[in-house]
Amino acid sequence: MIETLGIKWAELIAQTISFSLVLFVLWRAAYKPVFTMLETRKAKIAEGMANADKIKAQLAETEAGRKRVLAEAGDNANKLIDDARQAAARVRETETQKAIAAAEQIVVKAREAAAQERAQMLASLKREVGRLVVQTTSTVTGKILTADDQKRLAEETEKQLSA
């Protein structure tokens, strides 16, 4: 029956052996290195994907750390600014108090100087008035007053001016 189909056993076996030899040679020379290369490549791709995932995780960790550091730096900067403002306010208050104290000292010194000058002017005025009283008295009475008379009149005039 197989012969009616035109199959010749000798040729079929020779072709099967030829095919098997070609398959074996191709398997050893071409397919096996190709499959090995594909497996190696598959492993490298899997390793690359795992590394990419690790890198993504590290990048996310680094980004979170960077944000945390920036937030801390911002907080520290704000704290430093607040501290500087408080220090400036304290310095301003201290300097204001010093200026007020200095102004008060100037006012006190000015009052003391004015009081001293007034006392000097009053003393000068009393002497001048005493001199004028002595001169007027000597002119009115027409007599020359002694030193004791002049002293007594000056003291009486000074007492009346003080009262």
The average pLDDT across 20-40 equals 88
Top-ranked range on mean pLDDT: pick from 85-89, 116-120, 133-137 = 85-89
C-alpha dihedral (109, 113, 114, 116), degrees to nearest 10: 140
Could you tell me if 133 and 158 are in contact, meaning their C-beta atoms sit under 8 angstroms apart? no
- Residue 1: pLDDT band with limits 50, 70, 90: low
What's residue 4's pLDDT? 73
pTM of the predicted structure, to 2 decimals: 0.42
Q: In angstroms, how far is the first alpha carbon of the chain from the final one?
A: 170
- How far is it, in rounded angstroms, from Cα 30 to Cα 66? 52
* Amino acid of residue 101: A
